[in-house]
Amino acid sequence: MKFLTLLFFLVFNFNIIYASNSNELYEKIDLFGEVLEKIKKDYVDEIDQSKMMDSAINGVLQSLDPYSAYMSPELFKEMQTDTKGQFGGLGIEISMESGVVKVIAPIDDTPAAIAGIKAGDYIIKIGNDQVQGKSLMEAVKLMRGPVGTTIKLTVRRKNIKKPIEFKVTRKIIEVKSVNSEILGTNKNLGYIRLKSFNENSDKQFLNIIKEYEKNSKIEGYILDLRNNPGGLLTQAINITDFFLDDGEIVSTKGRKISETRKFFAKNGDEIKGKPIIVLINNGSASASEILAGALKDHKRAIILGENSYGKGSVQSIIPLRNGGGMRLTISKYYLPSGSSISEVGVTPDIVIEESGNDFKINSKSDNQLNYALKLFNS
């Protein structure tokens, strides 16, 4: 009886939002109850009603978008990870698409990146477990484990017929968000690779810019956001502000007034109008897209590479009274032009696709970076 009461509460509250009239609402409640009763009575195996309810709740959330999900009390407790630049796992940012796990981006120098996992890969098996039918959080849980242990990931990759298997060794992931060096035949270009937007990224970034600006030879900058899955919105705003004198950076719109905001640049371009080329790819998501999109809309930078991922939404982790939690989309990002990033991404001014089997970011085989260098030297 407790099970059916909880079920009725779930269905009633979900349908009251979406049902067009009361008759349809009650019909759907009756139908849902009938289905569950038949499962309980006639299904070939005895079912765990608690797990089935978790799946039902998660199904409601995942029908909204790829980023909303339910976490049981056990899973919610396990998911309380350190958000200050260190966490355990494989080093990949993921989402759900068509019932399987899609890689948004592998983080540089992590086990997943070293093993060869790429942005856009679909993970279909984790160890011996099929991903189909599991929630995003369940998939994350499967990928986590003791440091030093190895797990097999089976992936589908665009333009490759057969599944590919990777063995990845788990480790503590320490995200060093900013790398930099001076490039160009005349050593006149500042190259800054931003791998994520964590709580210290803007300070690291600004310190590098200040050092480079002391060098009279620096004539421009290449900002590399490839395989950057995003992070803190505040960091994206602060870093974008380095390059703008004024104007809107990004806006967020949600159903609540508190989630509808606009963010503007303050006076002061830290590089005094020097040219910028921003590199993006399919693994550039969320905060990366805000930075690239704002600079593009203000015609402050040339965007080069491949279309970005298209994650233009904000999720909030909401604790629930049973000790679990849910990840719920509460607002969406909009660029200064008014365009939404969601499922669209940022389109480069110059499309240069990754090429070559030995492609590696910031190496001799990096055709995208090489093209950017040619643009500056031409």
* Catalytic residue selected from 121, 224, 297, 366: 297
Q: What ranges make up the beta strands (E) of the chain? A: 69-71, 86-89, 92-97, 100-106, 122-126, 129-130, 150-156, 164-169, 171-174, 178-183, 189-194, 220-224, 248-254, 261-264, 276-280, 302-305, 313-319, 325-334, 350-351
Look at residue 275 and give its three-state secondary structure.
coil
Q: Is 269 a catalytic residue?
A: no
DSSP 307-343: ------EEEEEEE-TTS-EEEEEEEEEE-TTS-B-TT
Q: Is 216 a catalytic residue?
A: no
Q: What is the C-alpha separation between 339 and 301, in angstroms, rounded?
A: 18
Cβ partners under 8 Å of residue 125, min gap 6: 131, 152, 153, 154, 163
* Catalytic residue selected from 121, 288, 311, 331: 311
Q: Is 297 a catalytic residue?
A: yes
Cβ partners under 8 Å of residue 13, min gap 6: none
Asked if 265 and 247 touch (Cβ cutoff 8 Å), the reply is yes
* Catalytic residue selected from 201, 286, 288, 313: 286
The catalytic site residues sit at 286, 297, 311
